[in-house]
Every structure is written in structure tokens, then in C-alpha cells.
Amino acid sequence: MEPDFFFLLPVIPALSSAVFKYYTEGPPKRSWDLKFHLTLALIKTNYRFMKLPVEQVQKIADKFTIKVPSNIIVKDVILDEEYKRKSITHLEKILKQYEDVLDEKWKKSNDGGLHGEWAHANKDDNVVLYLHGGAFRAGTSKNARTITFKLAELANSRVFTPSLRLAPQNQFPAALCDAIAAYLYLINPGPEAGFDPINPKKIVLSGDSSGGNLVFALLLFLRDAGLPLPVILFTNQSTTFSSHDTQSPWTDLTHSMPSMWTAELDKIDTLPSKLGFFDIGAPSPAWEEYLVATKALAEKIALKKPTIVSHPSFTEVPRFQLYCANEALAIPYVRQVHQPYLKNFVQVGGDERLRDETILTSYKAANPREYQLPSYATKNFEKSPFKNPTKVILEVYDDMPHGWHLLTFSEPSKIALERCSDFIKRVTSIEDNNISMIDLVKEDLVSPSISVSSSFIAMRINTNGEIRELNETDKDCLKWDKIGIVPKET
């Protein structure tokens, strides 16, 4: 099941020559074979189409898909507006303290409702709620199929993927609102859904890149709103622990970590080193609407003078995220790099720009008292009742750039998706609430040479699937003293 990238060749004539340039230069990593290298080269050169009008970018991205194989059954659905209305009601209560920095348009109804897609191979009891990536500005359930079909097959899961609202037309918390609506649809479906309520113990949240961000945001929100959490393993006086798996989650929208700006990754990673990753693109109706909305929100913020936790660096640069205003960057449902309270199974490439924030997020979740930077976030931590360590499994894949999971023909992708699927099957089969996630996986999924604590497992995995301890340089980011400070681009 390989994605059809080549539909883009006639859209941008320069693509074929750009790919040829990569071909003549050769792979930047010895472990990459030619097919892996050229496919990544095509993905990288495809980012030229980000200069097109944003509406056109979204339409082109929607064509990034794969055909439905014979072993997968797919069903399209449109969720009743009731789920979104309930989601809005919950969100309004939680986000009231942040309303001065939010564009209120997120509360408006979708055109045509919230679309989603069910996929399954063998219909098991467990369900994966998959939140697609796309930097919040592109993507649908159909172009997430590269991963969702594999999870359906390998984890014997039913996979539900909603097509989330996209920025800049719909800014934070529109996508989160849709994710909440999708979860409410699973645990409390109406009669039109055609299935019984799904036990949260049988639900695992999964997502990649910006979808990984939304997985964290959804879990934090469900906890804060007092809603049932997926895969409840055990509880104590501080929190309820939940399980999810993410692939290269984008948790630091301030772009503050060193790997984001490492020059040697320019020829390796698919993401550019740029605040916000991509500009809005050529002028268009959406572009004009965005400018009007941005100006109105800036005037609202100047008038209200909100006192939410932030950092001076947020406003020392022009707005750079289409997803939210700079003043909203410290909202925990936007940027989760310092949120310590949820179980994680996290995979990240050893040569991608999101590596450092993923490593830091994982270490902090397992050791929340040890990693409390930046100082402006420490205030929140001191007031928080959620200070206990949680369980984390971190896998860093040698030589892998952002998005390597999509290259399902490659051995590293196969290894990563098989390990994701094995995790899903294990956590949804737990009957004893006293069983630790770490104990559940350490014997079969981890090499005996890896050190294992009661709350944390971290490992490097090479392109052949061999496991070892993290590199010492992987931990350099834990000492970084500019965490959460927006850098000034040079």
C-alpha cells in the first residue's frame, strides 16, 4: 500500500528536474536505498506547491491517497451535528480563560458536517481514533490511509479517522473541537451511528505530526473536562492514566528546540527550518479572509490585554502559525511539550526537526519534576495537581526523517508500524487494572540490553530493527535553556 505521490508531477513541471537533482546527488544517509531516497526527494520538492493558494494546496493534498486493498473494508460517514454541539459546550467551559486570544469563528458549523472514515480488516473490539497530520493546514481521512489501513490490518483494529477542519480558514480550537466530537461519537453514538457505545478501555488514540499534537490536546482536554479517558489502566489521587501512540508528534509550536534549526538536517528532513514551517501561499479568497481575521484578532488582543501565561518572545516576531495567534502559543491544548500526565508510546525519527521536542516531551512526562522549563510554564506546574510520573515508551529511529511511516514499502516503516500495532493490541487486551504498561511490553518489545525504569523506556532502533540505548547526544536537548522561547530567524 504505497501512496501515489506522482499525481503531482503534472501540477508542478519543475518537480521532475528537482527529483533528478536529488538522484544525481545520492542519498544523504547510507542506510537509504534509492527508492526511499527518491520518494523522500519527491515529498520534499512537493513542498513547492505550498506557495500556491492555500485552497489549492488543500485540494491537491486531498489527492494524496491510496486505493482500498482487497483486505480492507471502508465506510464513509458524516457525523450528526449533535456531537459537535456537545463538543463546543465542553470547550467553551475549558477555554473561557483563553477566549481573549482566540478567533471565535471555530464555533460555526462545518459546511456539510464532520466527515469521517471507518476502516477495518478483521473486526476486533478495539478501536483506533486516528487524527491525521498536515501541519493543521492540509489533510483528510482519505490521505491518512497509508497509516490507517496498516493499523487496521496489523492491530486487528477498527480505525476511525475524522477529516478535521483546516487552518487558516478554521483556527484553534476548530480541529480540536472536531477531534472531541469524533471521540464523543465513539463513546456515546446516537441511533443513526449503527453501533453500540465503545468502551473507552478499547479505544487508543493515534496520530502523526499535527495529528500527534491533537492526540495530546484531546487527552488533556478529556481529563480536564472530566470525560471518560481511553484505555484506563489505573488511577490514583492525582490523575487517570491513558494510553495512546503517536508518530513524530508536533508538540512545540514555538519552534524553540535545537533540532528544528540544525543545518545538517536540511538535506535529510522533509520539514523546512522556518517559523510556522510554511507561509500561507499566494493571495486568494482564504488569504484575504485570513488577513482580515488576523487583524481583528490582533485588535481584540490589544484591547483586552489578556494575562494568560506567555513569554515576551511570542510578540517579538510577527504571527507565524496559521493555526493560532502568537499570544495563544502557551495554551496547553496548543503546545504540550510541558504537559506531564499521560501515557505515551512515541516514535520519532533520529534525523527529523521534531526530534528534540519529542524526546523532551517524553522525558518530562516520565519525570515531571525534573524538567520544568521554561520558567513561564513552571507557574502552571506548581499549581497543577498532576505531578506524578507517567509511563512512556520512546523509540528514536536511526536516520529517519519526518513522515517515514508513510513509506510503507521500506523496512523502517514496516518495523515502526508493526511495533505501533503490537502496542495497540496489548493495551486494549488488558483486564487487570494493576498491570503496568512498562511490564506489559518490556519483555517482548525491548532488548534485554535496554535499561528500564518503572515509568520510562527509551531506545534507538536501527533500520534493521535492532535495538540499543539512546545516543548520548539525544539527551543534549534536555539541557537546552531556551525551551519555549520563540527564536528570531536569521
Catalytic residues: 209
In a 13 Å sphere around the CA of 304, the CA atoms on its Cβ side amount to 16
Do 382 and 338 touch, CB atoms closer than 8 A?
A: no
- State the pairing for strand pair 114-120/127-131: unpaired
Closest CA to 391 of 346, 358, 350: 346
Q: Report the C-alpha gap between 186 and 196 in whole angstroms.
A: 9
C-alpha cell of residue 344: 505515551
Distance CA 100, CA 327 (A): 10
Alpha helices in 188-269 (DSSP H): 210-225
Q: How far apart are CA 117 and CA 65, in angstroms?
A: 13
Is 12 in contact with 243 (CB distance < 8 Å)?
A: no
Handedness of CA 92, 94, 95, 96 (dihedral sign): positive
Say which amino acid occupies 14.
A
244, three cell numbers: 495512546
Burial class (CB in 10 A: 0-12, 13-18, 19+), 446: middle
Residue type for position 426: R
Measure Cα distances from 260 to 2, 79, 406 in Å. 28, 37, 21
CA 322 – CA 279 distance, rounded (Å):
8
Q: Which helix (H) or strand (E) holds 397?
A: strand 392-397
CA angle at 238 for the pair 235 and 243, rounded to the nearest 5°:
50
Q: Which three cell numbers stand for residue 114?
A: 464532520
CA distance 167 to 104: 14
Count of C-beta atoms within a 10 Å radius of residue 324:
24
How far apart CA 443 and CA 322 sit, in angstroms, is 44
Nearest-CA neighbor of 408 among 57, 154, 211?
154
Rounded CA-CA distance 47/414 in Å is 25
